[in-house]
Amino acid sequence: MHEVDLRQVDLNLLVTLHALLEERSVTRAAGRLGMSQPAVSRALARLRTLFADALLVDGRNGYILTVRAEEIRPTLRSMLAGISDMLETRPFEPAAATGLVRLLMADLEAAALAPRLLSHLAAEAPALDLDIQPPGTSLFEALQSDAVDAIVGVIGEAPAGIRRRGLYEDGFVTLMRAGHPAAEGKLTLGRYLELGHIVVSITGVGPAPVDVALAGMGRRRRVNVCVPNFLAAVEIAGRSDLIMTLPSSLALTAAGMGRFVTVPPPVDLGRVTMSLAWHARHQDEPRHVWLRRTVVAAAKGVTVTAPDRTTDDAEPPNG
């Protein structure tokens, strides 16, 4: 079978050929294409050379198609329709969408963000369901394999092909049970280091921000318990005198459970950025563009500033 080198073919001629075969008239084809009649006549001459066939020949009432042109016509129509369909930008319609929104995030991050995100989904895409998956040791593999649509969390260096944008900046607070002996008065560095600590290490890799800051001061704390998720840490903190230091938005979510006090840590930990990460292959996909905008909108409602001291024994505003 002879293989045609398409690089040597002006594929625009096929659009002209389609108009000629449909209209069976140079004049009408020119009007349909918005071209001059001489330009279409020159294109027809090139097409006859390309196909080694007259394609259109004189008949009693104008042009008629040759046998070769009749053979080409259905294939050409189908091919051009397929190309047009391929190039068409299909808008995403949230109201008609079904399936899953798959996000990877830690449990307290989900507790802070998911209720707001579900509210947006209920209003805009009521048939979409939310599937939240826990982080593993290889966060970005989930994006690369399309196991999830996006990641929400504190994201450091990312490999090539991963896009991200900040959702909000967050500071740190120290969380302890209500009635904890250290809950009264200012939490000093000395007292902080005397206490036992809980660390949440989702990936199990690298030191916590507190330990990095303390090492810079030549100090260290005792980490009594290291757990892979915040829910376990919160339960331990609620039933012991161990304390934990974590981003304020997550601490306030835990404080909302009604058993905790938050205080400023005696170490300057700076701020972290909660981010949204996704794979570049979905950068321009309409569904994914909508999803990212929706997550960003939901994140705007997340509280990121904790008061100097918060307890859940306080009477709510307006009774």
Whether 100 and 196 map to the same domain: the answer is yes
Based on the fold, state whether residues 47 and 125 are members of the same structural domain: no
Q: Mean per-residue pLDDT for 196-204?
A: 85
Domain shared by 82 and 126, yes or no: no
Per-residue model confidence (pLDDT) at position 11: 82
Residue 227 lies in a domain: yes
pLDDT at 316: 30
Q: ∠ CA 195-198-202 to the nearest 5 degrees?
A: 160
- Residue span of the structural domain in which 59 resides: 6-87
The CATH number linked to 297 is 3.40.190.290
The pLDDT, as a whole number, for residue 2 is: 55
Question: What mean pLDDT, rounded, does the chain reach?
Answer: 86
Domain of 58, CATH number, reads: 1.10.10.10
Total structural domains within the chain = 2
Domain boundary among 87, 107, 124: 87
Could you give the CA distance from residue 221 to residue 305 in angstroms, rounded to a whole number? 25
47: helix, coil or strand? helix
Co-location of 70 and 155 in the same domain: no
174-183, 192-201, 247-256: least confidently modelled range = 247-256
CA 20 remoteness from chain centre? 46
> Residue 102 CB: number of other CB atoms within 10 A?
17
Is residue 20 situated within a structural domain? yes
| Full-model pTM | 0.69
Query: Does 81 reside within a domain?
Result: yes
Distance CA 218, CA 117 (A): 42
User: Whose structure tokens read 């069976």?
Assistant: 24
Please report whether residue 157 resides in a domain: yes
**Last residue in a domain, options 34, 52, 87:** 87
Given a cut of 60, whether residue 65 has pLDDT beyond it is yes
**Closest C-alpha among 263, 303, 108 to residue 178:** 263
Domain closes at, from 56, 87, 118: 87
